[in-house]
Structure 1
Amino acid sequence: MSRVTRWSRLSTRLRPEWSDRNLTLVLAARTAMSAARALAGVVAPVYLALDGFDAARLGALFAVVAVASAVMATAIGLLSDRFGRKPFLVGVPLLAALAGVTFADDRSTGVLFAAAALGSFGRGSGAGAGAVGPYQPAESAFVVESILPRYRNVVFGRISFVSSVGALAGGLLALMAPSRRLSGQAATAAFGDVFLATAGLAALAGFLAVFIVESRPERAPVSLEPDGTRRHGVRRLRFALSAIHLPRRSRPLLYRLWVTNSLNGLAIGMFGPFVTYWFFRRFDASAGEIGALFAVVNVATAAATLSAAGLAKRWGLVNTVGVVRSAQAALLVPLVLMPTFEAAGAVYLLRMIVQRIGLPLRQSYVLAMADAEERAAVTALSNLPSQLTMAASPLLAGYLFDEVSLSLPFDIPAVPQGLNAVTFWVFFRHAPPEEERVPAEPVASPS
C-alpha cells in the first residue's frame, strides 16, 4: 500500500465526508459537556453524602432534578422546532456552569436543590456518557438536519464516542476530589475546586456553541396584524408561541415510544442516579476510586460506540437495540452479587459496553422515523414519560437503600428494563428506518 493511500485513509477517518464546521463544533461541545456531566456525576453524590444526605434525601434531590429536566427538555424540544436549536446549545450549558459555581460555594439545602435542578446534577453516573442534559433534543435534531440519512447511525456513533472521551476526562478529573472522609465546611472547601472545574467545562461547551452557524427556521408571518400593521411586544410573542403545537404526523410513533420509555425510565430512575452512591456505600470507595473506575469504563467502551453502526447494518437497528437492552437488564443482577469493588467494576464495565452500543442507535431510530418538522418535539416528548417515571423511582430507591438493602434497588429495575427491550422489538420490528428498507422492484410496463 502506497504512502499516499495510507494518508488518504487516515485523512478520511479523521475528517469523514459527512463532517463540516458545525458538526465539528457540536462534537467538541459534546466532549466538554460530557466531561462536565461525568465529573458532576462522580463528585456530587459523594459530596452530598459526606455533607449528611442519606439515601432518601438524595432520592428526593434526584426526583427534583428529573422533574426539572423533564420540563426543560419538553419545552426545549417544542421551542427549538419553532425558534431554532442554537440558543439552547449555548444557554443550557451556561446554566450547568452556574450550578457548578453554586455547589462550590454554598451548603444550604434549598440552594443545592435549586442548583442541581438548574444544572441537571444527578442525571446518571460518571460512566454514563451520552447524557448532556435537557438540550439534547435540540442538539440531536440539529445533527440530523445537517447530514444525509445514510450517515445518521455513523454520526450518532461518533457523538457517543466523543461523549465517552469527555466522560473519560471527567472521570480522571474526579481524582482531584479528596480521598479521605470529610464533612461540613471542610468538604465544601475540599470539593470546591472540583465543582469549579465542572463549571468551566460546561461554560466551554456553551462558548463553543456560540460559533455554530444555523440556518434560520422557516417562520409564519408573526409580525403583522390582520390589518397589515406590525405586531409588537407581548402580542407578537403570544402569536409566535401559538404556532407551537404537539406533533401530529409523528403521533403513532410517539405513543409507542411513551410505552417503551416509561418502562426504561422506571428502571433507570431507580439505579442510574445511585451508581456512584452504591459504590460509595457498598465498598467504601472514594470519589477518586470511583472516578478512576469510570475512566477505565469509558476507555473500554469507546470502541463499542463506533461499532454500533456496523452491528445495526448486520442485524438491523431494531433487532440490535432489542438484544442490547435485554443484556443490560440481565447484567443488573450479577452486578449487585459481586463481593469486591473490582469484581463489581468488571460487571459494570460489561454492562456499559452493551449500553453504549444501543444508545446511539435508539436516538438515531427516533429521529429517522419522526417527521422532519417535528424531530426535536418528538425527541423531547418521547422522553417525557421516562423522565416522569425517573422522577418517581428515586424516592422508592432511596427508601429501599436506607430501610431494606443496598441490592434491591438494582434487582427490581431488571424487570422493567427487560420489558422495555421486549416492547421496543414488538412495536418496531416491522418498521425499519429508511436506510434498511428494500426498494420495491420496478413494475415492467406491458410491451
Structure 2
Amino acid sequence: MTRIQMHSIVKRLILIRGLRSIGQGAMVVDLSLYLKDLHWSGALIGGVTSAAGLFGAALILFVGILSDKLGRKPFLLIYEGMTMLSSMIASMTTQGIILILAIVIAGFGRGQSGAAGPFSPAEQAWLARYVERSNRGQIFSLNNGVGFLGMAIGSVLGGIPGYIHTANPLEAYRPVFLMVTVLSFFCILLLSLIHEQSIGSAVGQSSHGRDFRDKSHSVQRSEENGKNIVKEQDPDETNIRRQENKAIFKLAFINTLNGLAVGLTGPMMAYWFSIRYHVGTEAIGVTLSISFFLTAVSSYFSGILAQRFGMVKSVTWMRIIGSACMLALPWMPTFTIASFLFVIRNAINRGTQGNRSALSASLTRDQRRGFASSINALSMRLPSSVGPTLTGYMFDVGQLNLPLILTAALQLVNAGIYQRVFGEYDKKK
C-alpha cells in the first residue's frame, strides 16, 4: 500500500475512533449477556436494542444537515458526553427504565466499529475533508481497521465479568461500564484540542463531480493547508445538486437491505452463541476479539484491493464470500468450529466498511457531505433497528438459525445490486 501523508486532524480523529471502539467492543460482548443475567427475555433485549437504533436514526439526518452549517466538532463532543453519562449511570443501577434510557441514548451493544453512532455523519464528513478522493478508500479502510482493532481489545476486556464470581450481575459488569466512562472522557479531551475551521472558510470538494455530474462541468483544484479548494465554473447549482441527490438516494436504497441484514444478527450474536452453545462471556469475548482483530487486518487489505480493483468491486466480492460463511454458520456442530467460521465471516464482510464509507463520502462536495453521510447512515440504521426485535422474538420461539439464514440471503442480494448500480464508479476513479 502506498504511503500517504495524513493531515494531523485525520490522525487525531483516527486515534479517537480507536479509543472509542474499545468500549464498543466490550459492550458488544456484555450488553445482551448482562441483560440476560438480569432475566430479560430475548424479545425485550432485542426491543431495547431496536429502540436504541431508532433513537439514533431520529438524530442522524439532523446531525448531518446541521453539521454542514455549524461544524462537525460540537456534535462529536455531544456524543462522547452522552456516552460518558449513560455508562456512568448504567454502572450504578439495575432499574429497568433507567437502563433502557441509558442503552437507548448511548446505543450500547450495537457494535459500531468505533463510529460515533448517530453522530458519525459529522465524523465522516470531517475526515473526508482532509483526504483526497483518490486516497479515501485507503484512509477510510485504515480508519475502519483501527476501529476494529480497538473493538478486539474491548472484546477481550468484555470477558472480565466471567471472572468475577458474584451473585449480583451489576457488580460483575460494573468495571466494563466504568471503562466506557473513562474512555469517553479521554475522547472529549482529545476532541477539545482539535481546532476546526469553519466549513465556509475552505470548501473541500470531492472529485465526484467528474463522475456523477455533467462531463462539461469543469473543476479547478488547488492545495491549501492539506485541503482541496475547488472553484466551481458551472453556475448550474440546481443541476449539480440534482445529480448528487440521485447518487445519494440510490446508495440509500441499496443500504436498506444491508441494514436489515446487519440488524438481524450484529447486536445479537453474543446472545446466539450463549444459547446455542451454552458458553459465557470469557469464550464469547475471545471469539469476538479475534474476529475484530482479523477484521482490522481485512480492512487494511481491503484498502489495497480498492486501489487495485476498485472500491465497489472489492466490496462486492468480499460480501459474497462473507455471506456464504454466514449461511453455513448455523449448521456447525461445536462452538469451536462455529467460532472459526464466524471469525472468518466477520473479517471478510465487515472489512469492507471503510470502502463503503469512502464511496458515500465521495458522492457530494464538502458543503453537502454531512447530509450525504446522514442519508447513508439513516438508510442503514432504520432497517437495522427493526432487526434485533425480530431476532429476539425468533430466539424466544426456538428459531435460532433463521436470523442467520436471512442475513446471508439479504447480503447476497445487496452485493449483486450494489455492483450493478455503482460498478461503473470503479472505472472513473
TM-score (norm: length of structure 1): 0.83
Larger Rg: 1
**Does 2:97 align with 1:103?**
no
- The CA distance in 1 between the partners of 2:316 and 2:292, in whole Å, is 23
- The CA distance in 1 between the partners of 2:404 and 2:326, in whole Å, is 6
Deviation of 1:146 after TM superposition, in Å, equals 0.9
Residue of structure 2 aligned with 1:61, choices 27, 37, 48: 48
Q: Which letter maps to 1:195?
A: F
Deviation of 1:252 after TM superposition, in Å, equals 0.5
Structure 2 partner of 1:209: 191
Decide whether the 8 Å contact of 2:298 with 2:347 is kept in 1. yes
- The CA distance in 2 between the partners of 1:338 and 1:54, in whole Å, is 25
Q: Deviations over 1:188-241 (max 9, x none)?
A: 12211111111111222222111111111229xxxxxxxxxxxxxxxxxxxxxx
Residue of structure 1 aligned with 2:296, choices 282, 287, 302: 302
Residue of structure 2 aligned with 1:38, choices 25, 38, 44: 25
Decide whether the 8 Å contact of 1:92 with 1:206 is kept in 2. no
- The CA distance in 1 between the partners of 2:58 and 2:242, in whole Å, is 20
**Does 2:188 align with 1:194?**
no
Aligned positions, number: 390
Deviation of 1:386 after TM superposition, in Å, equals 2.5
Deviation of 1:296 after TM superposition, in Å, equals 1.8
Deviation of 1:248 after TM superposition, in Å, equals 4.9
Structure 2 partner of 1:75: 62
Structure 2 partner of 1:47: 34
Q: What are the equivalent positions in structure 2 for 1:248-267 lying under 5 Å apart?
A: 248-267=242-261
Q: Which letter maps to 1:250?
A: E
- The CA distance in 2 between the partners of 1:258 and 1:157, in whole Å, is 20
RMSD: 2.0
Decide whether the 8 Å contact of 2:252 with 2:376 is kept in 1. yes
Deviation of 1:328 after TM superposition, in Å, equals 2.3
Q: Deviations over 1:280-299 (max 9, x none)?
A: 11122211221112222233
Decide whether the 8 Å contact of 2:29 with 2:159 is kept in 1. no
Q: 1:26 to 1:72 in 2, by over 3 A?
A: same
Residue of structure 1 aligned with 2:136, choices 152, 177, 191: 152
Q: What are the equivalent positions in structure 2 for 1:1-400 lying under 5 Å apart?
A: 17-124=4-111, 129-179=113-163, 186-218=168-200, 248-400=242-394
Matched position secondary structure for 1:135: helix
Structure 1 partner of 2:218: none
- The CA distance in 2 between the partners of 1:75 and 1:371, in whole Å, is 18
Q: Which letter maps to 1:348?
A: F
Deviation of 1:116 after TM superposition, in Å, equals 0.7
Matched position secondary structure for 1:213: coil
Matched position secondary structure for 2:117: coil
Q: Which letter maps to 2:169?
A: A
- The CA distance in 1 between the partners of 2:98 and 2:242, in whole Å, is 40
- The CA distance in 1 between the partners of 2:16 and 2:186, in whole Å, is 7
Deviation of 1:130 after TM superposition, in Å, equals 4.7
- The CA distance in 1 between the partners of 2:164 and 2:335, in whole Å, is 17
Decide whether the 8 Å contact of 2:125 with 2:369 is kept in 1. yes
Decide whether the 8 Å contact of 1:249 with 1:371 is kept in 2. no
Deviation of 1:93 after TM superposition, in Å, equals 1.5
Unaligned runs of 5+ in 1: 1-11, 220-246, 439-447
- The CA distance in 2 between the partners of 1:296 and 1:75, in whole Å, is 36
**4+ runs deviating over 4 angstroms:** 179-183
Q: What are the equivalent positions in structure 2 for 1:401-440 lying under 5 Å apart?
A: 401-432=395-426, 436-437=427-428
Q: Which letter maps to 1:31?
A: G
Q: 1:106 to 1:82 in 2, by over 3 A?
A: same
Decide whether the 8 Å contact of 1:328 with 1:355 is kept in 2. yes
Deviation of 1:261 after TM superposition, in Å, equals 0.8
Percentage of matched positions with identical amino acids = 26
Q: Deviations over 1:49-73 (max 9, x none)?
A: 0001111001110110110111122
Unaligned runs of 5+ in 2: 202-240
Q: Deviations over 1:104-158 (max 9, x none)?
A: 111111111111111111313xxx6354412211111111101222321121121
- The CA distance in 2 between the partners of 1:410 and 1:103, in whole Å, is 30
Deviation of 1:77 after TM superposition, in Å, equals 0.9
- The CA distance in 1 between the partners of 2:187 and 2:13, in whole Å, is 9
Q: Which letter maps to 1:150?
A: S
